[in-house]
Amino acid sequence: MQAVKISNHVYWVGAIDWNIRDFHGYSTKRGTTYNAYLVMGEKPTLIDTVKKEFYGEMMERIASVIDPKKIEIIISNHSELDHAGALPQTVAAVEPKEVYVSAMGLKDLTGHFHKNLNFKIVKTGDKIDVGGDTISFIEARMLHWPDSMFSYLEKENILFSNDVFGMHYATSKLFDDENDERIWLTEAEKYYANIVLPYSDIVLRLLEQVKKMELSPKMIAPDHGFIWRKDPTRIVQLYTQWATQAPTNKAVIVYDTMWGSTEQMARQIADGLRTGGTEVKMLSMHANDRSKVALELLNASALLLGSPVLNSQIFPAMADVICYLKGLRKKGLIGAAFGSYGWNGAPVDSLTKTLEEMGVEIVAPAVKSPFVPDEAIKKTCFELGQQVSQKLTEKIK
């Protein structure tokens, strides 16, 4: 397997994972890549490795450029195992003079591998000489792990940004300008919604910090998806937009149904929203997965949760998606709950409590239907949709 030259002295030596469909709970319908980069200065330097299973592929690509034993420096920007899984094997094979990590990176890697790792700790502002060029480090704590950091190749103006600015998208085309925007825009947005969203405040602070450092990368090289070379500012602008979470006139209805009653309620609410001028996405957990829900919620400002009651609990698929959404900490939402039940409506009320715990502003008490909704309940649902729509319209004024 061959490396791909991406600039004067830098090669892509990563791996393409065409077949992964579940990345720790994130549905990766288009697979992913694990990007690693070889900087061919006088001191050959490897930036990140790959998932353990792809160690052989990475080493073959490196060997197409240089004897791997000649690598003098390894930088680990992030300790998660899709980038560091092959690190111990690579260090053992290459025997580099130095391995650089952040302080938290060393802690995490020690936790992963239970070895005494003789790695050097770097922090924001530290620089290393790679022979003919310099790499400086910028810690990117909590984007999306405490250890995450960026490396910046100064003369070539390449920002190696690890997970940030990436996407889960297996593609043989290594650059932004070679890929179809109609596909990648959704994948980039989905990645932000599922991985980066909880840390949006940190994104905005980091982008401000990078701006003050007056870096103007001619390339941004993340560890997933492709490399931004045509217009690296594009993904930075998108991150700014997604992190800002400005109010929109869009609502998502996330629900499940047992015998169709909760779905009838959802459809009435959706129609109330629609007639109020709000864009609405109905997301049945029979037909959608949690990653799709996260994607649709990213640019929405209202969340409505609906569930039937089963054995005095909300439906299991709803419990799953709620657990996931709580972790994503989407801001600025309004919402309400609804659902049908047979003889115990309390679980539907618990959805309102859940929304409150998520920081959602409650528009109205839960609408509950004993068994199949009658005309009065359907009307209440329709009016709930209208009420939410009106609130959204006021918010975006």
- Residues annotated as catalytic are 24, 78, 80, 82, 144, 163, 191, 224
Verify binding: residue 391, ligand FEO, rule CB under 6 A. no
Type of residue found at 102: S
CB of 97 to ligand FEO, least distance (A): 26
Closest to ligand FEO by CB, 23 vs 152, is: 23
CA-closest candidate to residue 26, choices 216, 289, 220, 367: 289
Q: In the window 202-261, what residues touch ligand FEO (CB under 6 A)?
A: 223-224
Provide CB contacts within 8 A for 101, sequence distance 6+: 75, 76, 79, 109, 119, 120, 121, 122, 147
Taking the complex as a whole, the smallest distance from the CB of residue 166 to ligand FEO amounts, in Å, to 7
DSSP assigned state of 282: E
In the complex with ligand FEO, the residue whose CB is nearer, 63 or 81, is 81
CA distances from 193 to 24, 189, 279, 330 (A): 15, 6, 19, 9
| Residues in contact with 278: Cβ distance below 8 Å, sequence separation at least 6, in sequence order | 249, 250, 251, 302, 385, 388, 389, 392, 393
- Residue 374, C-beta contacts closer than 8 angstroms, at least 6 positions apart: none
Residue 367's alpha-carbon distances to 67, 250, 341, in angstroms, are: 67, 21, 11
Max CA pair span of the chain: 77
- Which positions from 135 through 194 interact with ligand FEO, judged by CB under 6 A? 144-145, 163
82 touches ligand FEO by CB under 6 A: yes
Q: Minimum CB separation from ligand FEO for residue 163, in Å?
A: 4
Residue 80 in the binding site for ligand FEO (CB under 6 A): yes
Using the contact rule CB under 6 A, the part of the chain among 65-73, 79-87, 110-118, 125-133 near ligand FEO is 79-87
Which helix H or strand E contains 280, and what residues bound it?
strand 279-284
Task: Report if residue 83 touches ligand FEO, rule: CB under 6 A.
Answer: yes
Structure tokens at 125: 């502002």
User: Which H or E element spans position 3?
Assistant: none
Binding residue for ligand FEO, selected from 51, 78, 330, 378, defined by CB under 6 A:
78
Binding segment toward ligand FEO, per CB under 6 A, in 77-85, 173-181, 231-239, 258-266: 77-85
- Specify the residue, 18 or 259, whose C-beta has the smaller distance to ligand FEO: 18
Q: Of 40-48, 75-83, 108-116, 316-324, which part binds ligand FEO (CB under 6 A)?
A: 75-83
List contacts with ligand FEO (CB under 6 A). 78, 80, 82-83, 144-145, 163, 223-224
